A = this chain, B = another copy of it.
Amino acid sequence: MNCLSISTNQLTDSCAEYGSKPPNSKPPRNKRPPTDTQSRSRIDKVNTEVVTLTYGTIVASLCRDLTLPSSSTKTDYAAVNAELDRMGYNIGVRLIEDFLAKSNTGHCSNFRETAEVISKVGFKVFMNVTPIVTGWSQDGKSFGLVFEENPLADFVELPDDGRAQEELWYSNILSGVVRGALEMVCLVARSAATWYQGLTCHDTGANAG
């Protein structure tokens, strides 16, 4: 079981419409045309193993390439986590267009509704899972998502170096995806979690954005 904690302290309606870019966002490196699902001759679904293994290869490459300054062999897991989050952010800022086109979702009236839409529409549409929304903070600005199934981490075994299980947030790309997608609808959020198949998170140090 995996969990992800998401929080916000900034929810604005200053953007004219969903999908508009915040001023400081970088343009996508692979530009996509305006969402027009009708004209796309695309395949809707692919096999999960493709995602699981492709993602595993990304993480393995990062663990190999991002090493601590003091050592060429010891992985800098903090750097790996940050890179996964960065990659996820870049995905999220583009995936939101497809999400809005597929879901016909309008503005959420509050953060609780946002949480439900992320879980029951967003993750369901794209990952075919529905994480459980739980762990609301008293001020209602933070919640957790618990994944009973996580396609990214299916049968993953972390490096046996005594550090990875504590330090590597294996599925941290999802944190970035949620962050990027929310930012595009003018909801500044931060998310942090310890991700690992079979373990509940033991660090959900989410900070309000």
- Residue positions of A touching B, CB distance < 8 A: 29-33, 40-51, 53-58, 60-61, 65, 83, 87, 90-91, 94-95, 98, 125-129, 149, 151, 154-157, 159, 173
Contacts and interface: CB of A to CB of B under 8 A. Distances in A.
A56 B44 contact: no
Contacts of A129: 43
Residue with the highest number of chain B CB atoms closer than 10 Å, among A40, A91, A129: A91
Contacts of A53: 91, 94-95
A55 B57 contact: no
Contact of A30 (B40, B87, B95, B156): B156
Identical copies in the complex: 2
B41 A149 contact: yes
A83 B62 CA distance: 13
Given A30-B157, A42-B151, A49-B126, 8 more contacts: A45-B128, A46-B48, A47-B126, A49-B95, A53-B95, A54-B54, A57-B87, A57-B91
